Structure 1
Amino acid sequence: MENSDHPLLNWIPNKLVETDGNIYFEWIYLGDKRYVDPFFDETLMKCKVHYNNSTRYKVVSSVENLIDWSTELVSVELKSLLFHVSRCGSTMMCQSLAVSPQNIVVSEAPIIDQIIRSDLFDLDKKRILIKSVIALLGQKRFVEEKNLIVKLDSWHTFQIDELRAIFPELPFALLYRNPSEVLKSHAKLKGMHMVPNLLPATVFGISDEEIQTISFQQYGAVVLEKYFQSYLDFYGTDKNVVMYNYEEGMKSILERFLSFIDADYFVEEVDQMCERLTRHSKKGDVTFKGDSFTDDVLVIDLTKGNSLYEKLNSSIAKSLVTNIT
């Protein structure tokens, strides 16, 4: 059955629901909406006004329904999972990739995070659900679509080994940035992962005892240290991963990523993707003139973060030398 004939075309699971001991997935109708917003939840909000989503009734399914249905719809090829430490160019990169009609770019879909952090499923069922949900999000809805790129939430780096077990042959990309610049950005507007207790500290590998010794100001630096260490551990052992430092420049990163995922684009598409990099990642009508926090001063101890950052840079340098020789 072609997708055009399937009753679930343009429907995707968007919420995990537990009620009265039962587990359900709530679905939402996309209509003709493409995933072009900076974050996936923005697309979901726009879809809620559609008639199919604005009635008093919700479309729900069982876990097994979702798994079965994911095999009935044709999905485009999953090309890469994109990991990031936040404020390191990942949103800009995704907005650039979304310019091409060949690409489906899923940027931090809440349903993926719900499943990853859920304790409602055993490991085998969780693996199946992650694959099934990603397949449904990447259903082929438009004739041009060929490539699916999924950007995860930053804290999913701590599940990277498990995600590798689910997708053993898939290219993984890791984005990072100078810790001072990341934290200066968060000082202006903190992401939820940089505020103690908005997410459980254990998500980042911070113990209950350790968190008692970390000040509010220092917490973000510790989280970033955990991200960097996770990157080092994975990059040192995995054979199908690339790591990009924001300092390299987003145009270079984009071009290298397009080569890494082995996808073919028209020259005009690449030019359009590069042009998108000149505009603000979250405000596409605003020219990007660089970050405005470079002269800000942080009252944070970055000793360990800077050390790990230099180790990441060294790891990339060693990898480049090895590939050349």
Structure 2
Amino acid sequence: MKNIDHPLSNWIPYKLIETDKEAYFEWIYLADVNFAEPFFTDTIAKCNGHKFNSKLNKAVSTVENLIEWSHELESVELRSLVFHVSRCGSTMLSQCLAASAENIMISEAPIIDQVLRSDYFGLDKKTALIKAVLNFLGQKRFPQQKHLIVKLDAWHIFNAGYFRSIFPEVPFGLLYRNPTEVLKSHQKMMGMHMVPNLIPPSVFGISSQEIEETSFRQYGALVLEKYFQGFLDFYETNQNAAILNYNDGMKNALEKFISFIDIEYSHDELEKMLERLKQHSKDKNTVFTGDLFKEETLQIDFSKLNILHEKLNNTLLEHLEH
């Protein structure tokens, strides 16, 4: 059965619901909406008004339903997972990739994080669910679609080894940036992972002792230290990954990523992706003129961060030499 004729065509699971007695998935109908927005949740918001999604009774399924049904639809090939340290150009990278009609670009889908962090499932079940969710997100809904690329949440670098065990041949992208610029961006509008305890510190490998010794202002730097170290630790044993530096220019990062994942795009598709660089990553209607940061110095100890950043830079140079 072709996707277009399947009753689940254009339906995706998008939320894991857990109660004391059971876990189930809530579904949403995409209609003809593509994953073109900066974040997965933006796409979901566009779909909420559809008549199938605005009913009082929501479409739900069991865990086993999701796994079983995921084998019934044709899905495009998973071509890369993108890891990042936040505020490092990952949204621009994903928006450029989303500009190509050949790509299904999933950007920080909460359902992936919900499955990963759930205490409801064992590892084997989580693996089956991750694969099932990606099959649905990567279902071939339009004729041009050929590639699935998934940008994960920043803290998923700590799950990179697990993802590698599931997808041993899939190239990974590792995108980072000068730590001062990352934290200056969070100074303007702080991400939830940079606020103590909004996400359990254990997710980042932060100990209770480190929490006690770290001020609110320094916490974001500590999280970023963990991200940088996570990049270094993963790359040391997993060479099928491209290290991408925002500070080398987003055009360079995009071209290097495309080359690394070894996709032959047409000239027109490449032009669409490069053209997207001219607009703001989160607003296509705004011309991007560069980042503007507050001039005052951050009251943060950068000593460890700078060492880790330099190690990443050196690792990148070694990567380029090979």
State the TM-score bracket (shorter-chain normalisation).
over 0.9
What's the counterpart of residue 18 of structure 2?
Answer: 18
Structure 1 residue 31: Cα displacement: 0.6
- 1:157, 1:231 within 8 Å by CA — same for their partners in 2? yes
Q: CA deviation at 1:239?
A: 2.2
Shift of 1:196: 0.5
- C-alpha contact (below 8 Å) 1:184/1:296 kept by paired residues: no
Task: List runs of 5+ in structure 1 lacking aligned partners.
Answer: none
Shift in Å at residue 20 of structure 1?
A: 4.5
Aligned 8 A contact 2:244 2:257 in 1:
no
TM-score, scaled to structure 2: 0.98
Matched, 1:80 2:80: yes
1:157-197: per-residue Cα shift (whole Å, max 9, x none)? 11111111111111000000010000000000000000001
Mapped to 2, the partners of 1:48 and 1:155 lie a distance apart of 28
Partner of 1:289: 289
Measured after TM superposition, the shift of residue 272 of structure 1 is: 1.6
* Distance in 2 of aligned mates of 1:254 and 1:74: 28
* Residue range with higher mean Cα deviation, 192-201 or 20-29: 20-29
What SS is found at the alignment partner of 1:226? helix
Shift of 1:209: 2.3
User: 1:40 matched to which residue of 2?
Assistant: 40
Q: How far has the Cα of 1:123 moved from its partner? A: 0.6
**Whole-Å separation in 2 of the counterparts to 1:172 and 1:36:** 21
State the distance in 1 between where 2:236 and 2:313 align: 12
Alignment partner, residue 226 of structure 2: 226
Aligned pairs for 1:81-100 within 5 A: 81-100=81-100
Residue type of the alignment partner of 1:209: Q
* Shift in Å, 1:294: 6.8
SS of match in other structure, 2:115: helix
Cα deviation digits, residues 211-259 of structure 1 (max 9, x gap) = 1111000000000000000100111111211111111111111111111
User: AA paired with 2:100?
Assistant: S
Aligned residue identity for 1:286: T
Q: Does 2:271 align with 1:271? A: yes
| Whole-angstrom distance in 2 between the partners of 1:169 and 1:188 | 38
Aligned to 1:61: 61
Which residue of structure 2 lines up, in the alignment, with residue 101 of structure 1?
101
Q: Give the corresponding residue for 1:168.
A: 168
Equivalent position SS for 1:52? coil
Q: Which residue of 1 aligns with 2:112?
A: 112
- 1:15-72 C-alpha deviation (Å, 9 max, x unpaired): 1112351111110000110001101001111111000000111111111110011111
Give the whole-Å Cα distance in 1 for the aligned partners of 2:284 and 2:160.
31
Map of 1:172-183 to 2, 5 A cutoff? Answer: 172-183=172-183
Amino acid of the structure 2 residue aligned with 1:119: D
Alpha-carbon offset, residue 198 of structure 1: 0.6
* Letter in structure 2 aligned against 1:258: I
Q: TM-score, normalized by length of structure 1?
A: 0.97
Distance across 1 between alignment mates of 2:85 and 2:319: 20
Query: Match for residue 198 of structure 2?
Result: 198
Checking the alignment, whether the CA contact within 8 Å between 1:173 and 1:241 is kept in structure 2 is yes
SS state at 1:83 partner:
strand
Mean alpha-carbon deviation: is it higher for 117-126 or for 265-274?
Answer: 265-274
Q: What amino acid sits opposite 2:316 in the alignment?
A: I
Amino acid at match of 1:182: V
Q: Name the CA shift for 1:217/1:20 in 2 (closer, same or farther; >3 Å).
A: closer
Partners of 2:229 and 2:19 in 1: how far apart? Answer: 38
The separation in 2 between residues aligned to 1:260 and 1:2, in whole angstroms, is 32
Residue identity in the other structure for 1:262: D
Mapped to 2, the partners of 1:20 and 1:226 lie a distance apart of 33
Query: Secondary structure of 1:183's partner?
Result: helix
Cα separation, 1, equivalents of 2:95 and 2:70: 26
Write the distance in 2 (CA, Å) between the matches of 1:90 and 1:213: 31
SS of corresponding position for 1:285: strand
Cα distance in 2 for partners of 1:283, 1:132 equals 31
Kindly tell me the number of residue pairs found equivalent between the two proteins: 322
Determine what percentage of the aligned residue pairs are the same residue. 60
Stretches of structure 2 lacking an aligned partner (at least 5 in a row): none
Q: Find the counterpart in structure 2 of residue 134 from structure 1.
A: 134
Q: Secondary structure at the match of 2:286?
A: coil
RMSD, aligned α-carbons: 0.9
Cα contact 1:108–1:151 (8 A) shared by 2: yes
Q: Structure 1's 266 and 287: CA in aligned 2 closer, same or farther, altered over 3 A?
A: same
- How far 1:210 sits from its partner (Å)? 1.6
> Is 1:317 paired with 2:317?
yes
Determine if contact 1:201/1:207 at 8 Å carries over to the other structure: yes
**Structure 1 residues 304 and 122 mapped into 2: Cα distance closer, same or farther (>3 Å)?**
same
Structure 1 stretches of 4+ with a deviation exceeding 2 A read: none
- Partner of 2:5 in structure 1? 5
Matched, 1:185 2:195: no
